[in-house]
Amino acid sequence: RKEVEQDPGPFNVPEGATVAFNCTYSNSASQSFFWYRQDCRKEPKLLMSVYSSGNEDGRFTAQLNRASQYISLLIRDSKLSDSATYLCVVNIFGDYKLSFGAGTTVTVRA
C-alpha cells in the first residue's frame, strides 16, 4: 500500500467554481502535512502547510482529519492560473524525508 494516495483526477472545472479533493495517508505516525503545487514541466513548490485545526491561505483551505487519516484541499473561486497538479505530502515524526502522493491534476477552463 502506498504511503500517500491521491485521486489523480483530472478535475476539470470552470473559472469561479469551487473544487475540492482529498488524499489519504497510511502511517498513523505521520506528523506534518503539506500541499505542494507542480506546474507542467516544472518543479514542485510548497503551496501550504496543513495544521490540525485547518487553515486558509486566500482562496485555498486545507483540512486534516487524523482519525480518518486524510487531508483535503479546497480551492474557491478557481482561476485559470490554478491549473496544476497538487501533491499531497506527509512527514513521519522523526524522519528527515517527505513522502509524496502522485498528485491530483486540476484544470480550470475559461
Question: Is residue 19 within 8 Å of 84, Cβ to Cβ?
Answer: no
Output the smallest distance, CB 54 to other proteins, in A: 19
Question: Is residue 2 within 8 Å of 99, Cβ to Cβ?
Answer: no
Binding mask 69-98 for other proteins (x = CB under 8 A): ------------------x---x----xxx
Reading the block at residue 70, the C-alpha cell is 486524510
Tell me how far apart the alpha carbons of residues 76 and 31 are, in angstroms, rounded to a whole number: 27
Output the smallest distance, CB 13 to other proteins, in A: 22
Q: Contact region for other proteins (CB under 8 A) — 9-17, 42-50, 58-66, 72-80?
A: 42-50
